[in-house]
Structure 1
C-alpha cells in the first residue's frame, strides 16, 4: 500500500467513527424521547382513569385504563382498578379475565386471588372459585371487606357442595365481625342443620325462623357467649324436638366445647329421630376417638357399611383401627380414603403411621414423603369433609 492510500485511510476512519457515534447518539436521543413521551402519556392516562372512576364515569374509566395498560402491561394497580370496575358493573366474565392478568403481574396477592374467586362464584364456576378464595385467605387479605366476602362466599360454596362442617367453620368466623345480618345467620343455620341452599324446608316440619335461630345460637357460641348459646339451643330443642338435625346441631356445640359425653348424648338423640343417619354416627365416632376409640369403632363401621362412598368415613374408621392397633384394617380403610382424596395430606400422614406400625418401612417412607409435599402445597388445607 502506498503512502497516499495510507494517508486517505487515516483521514477517513476517524470521520466514519464520528459518523457512527453521531448516528448512535441520535438514535438514543430519539428512543429516550419516545420513552419520556410514553411515560408522560401513561401518567396522563392513569390520572384521567382514576378521576373518571371517582366521578362515576365508568365507561370512560374502562377505556382509559385499557389504554394505559396497553402502554404499561405490568401496572398492577391498573389491572386491580379495572377489575373492580367490571365486577361492580356485574361484567363478571370480563372482571375474571382482568383479575387473571393482575395475578400474572402479582401472583402472591391475596386480595387479587379473592377477587378472582368472587368472579368465578358469580359465574357458577364453583370449584375454581373455592380454590381461589382459599388461596387468597392463605396468602393474606388486607382489605377487611374482602376478608368478609371471602369467608362468606367460601361458606356458600361449601354449602352448595354439601361440605356442611367446613361451611360451619367458615361462616361462623363471620360472627366476630359485627356483620352477621339475617342472611349470614340463615346460612350458618343451614350449615348446622345440614340443609343445602337449593333445598326447601324439610317436608313435614314447622316453625318459620328456626334455621335463623340455629344460626344465631351458633353465632353466640362463636362469640363465646356460651350461656346465651346454651339457652337458645335448649329452647330450640324444646320447641322443635323432631326437627331434622336439631339435636345434631346441639351436639356440635358440645363437641366444640370438648364435652364428649354431652355431645354423644345429643347425637344419640338425633339417631332416635333419624335412625339411618350416618352423620350422627360419624360424630359419635369422632367424639369417642378423643377418649375411647374402642367405643367409637362400631359407629364408624356402621357408617361405612351404610354408605361406603363417603371418604371421611373410611378415614375416621382407619384412625380408630390404627388407635386400637388393628393395623391391617387401618391400612385398608386409609388406602380407600386416599384413593378418593389423593391430595389430602392428613390421610397420607395417618397412612404413613399405619405402614410404619405394620413394619412396611418403604411404604411408610413414601407416604411420609407424600405428606410432606402435600402439606407444603396445601398449607394444611384438607379435603376431608362431611
Structure 2
C-alpha cells in the first residue's frame, strides 16, 4: 500500500511505502496521479528512515540542457517503436495491479527492444520504484544511462536506486559520473552526494554538500529537511533549528519543517517554544499524530503531567493513534499516581510491542506492578530491562529497591553495586526515545 503526499515543488508526488523504510519523491511531466490532500492521518503507521528523490523530466525542464545535450522531450526517433510503447503501457498496468511476475516478464521484453524512448524508460523506472522494486528500477535506469549517457536524470535516478538498496558506494560512483551543467543539476548533485556521504559515515563532507545545496536553493523543501535532519543526527540542535527555520520561510505551512523545528527546539531545551509551535502545527493539521506526540512529550518533560495526559488521551481517542502515545499516556498516569493500573499495563504492553527493545516500557511496567503489590512481576520486568540494556542505571537502582522489598538481600546488594559502577546518565532516555522516533518520521517526510 502506498500513501500519496503532494509536494509543492515541481508539482511532484511523494509515495510513502509502509513495508520499507523509504520515501520516493517522483517528478515527471503530466503526472496523472491525484494526491491525498490530507496525508497526515496515514503517517502514524509509517516508520521511515530514508528519503529518496527520483528526478524525472519536468524537474530540469526549466533549465537549459547540460553541455548542449538534448532533453528527453527533444529526442525523437524517426519512427518510435510502437512495440516499446505498448510494452511500457502493459508494464504500467501490471505494476499498478501488483502483478509482480507479469511485470518482470514485460520488463524483460521492454529491455530487449533495440530502441526505447527515454521518457518511457524514466517513467517505467519511476513506476517500479513506487512499488519499491528497486532492483528492477535499477535495470531500467541502467539501460537509460547506457542509451542516453548525456541525460542527467538517468544517472541521478540510478544513483537513487542504489541508495534505496543501501548500495552506497555504487550510488556515489554513479553520481560522480553524471553529466551536470545547469545550476539545478549541480545543486541536485550536491544534495544527493551529501545524503550518500552521510550514509557512508563521512559527516564532514556530507555537511559541506548538504549545506552548499541548501544555500544555493533554500526554497527547496527537501534541502532544508535533509540539512536539518543531518544536524539532528549530529545533535547539533541550534544548527538544526536554523535550517528548519530558514526552510519554513519559504514553506510556512510545511508540517515537516514545522515538526523538525519544534523537535530541534525541544531537544535544545526550548520546550516552551516547542509546545507553542506544536499547537500551531495541530491547528494546520489536527490529525497529524506525530505533532500531538511531540506536544505531549514536551509537556511531560516540563512537568505538566495533567496536560500531557490529556494530550495523549486525545491522541489515543483519534483514529489510528501513534503507538508511542500509549507509552506517554501510561507514563503520565504513573506520574499522577493514578490507580488505573490495568489500563496502564494494557497501554504499556501495546507500546512494548511497537517499540523495539523498549527498556523504558519495562521500567514503567515494573513501577505499575510494584504499585499493585506484585513484586515478582516488577522484578521480572526490571531484570528484562537490565538484560536488554546492562548500562541502564535507573533500572539497576529500582531493581535493588524491589529486591530489598522482596527480602532478596544478596540480589539487592548486587544490583546496588551494578548501579554504583555506572556513571550518572547525561542523556534523558525519554528524550532520546523521542529523538530516534522523529528522526525516522522526518527522514520520511511524515
Instruction: Pick the TM interval, shorter chain.
Output: 0.3 to 0.5
Q: Which has the higher strand share?
A: 2
Q: Which has the higher helix share?
A: 1
TM-score by length of 2: 0.41
TM-score by length of 1: 0.47
| Larger Cα-atom Rg | 1
Larger relative contact order (C-alpha < 8 A, sep ≥ 6)? 2
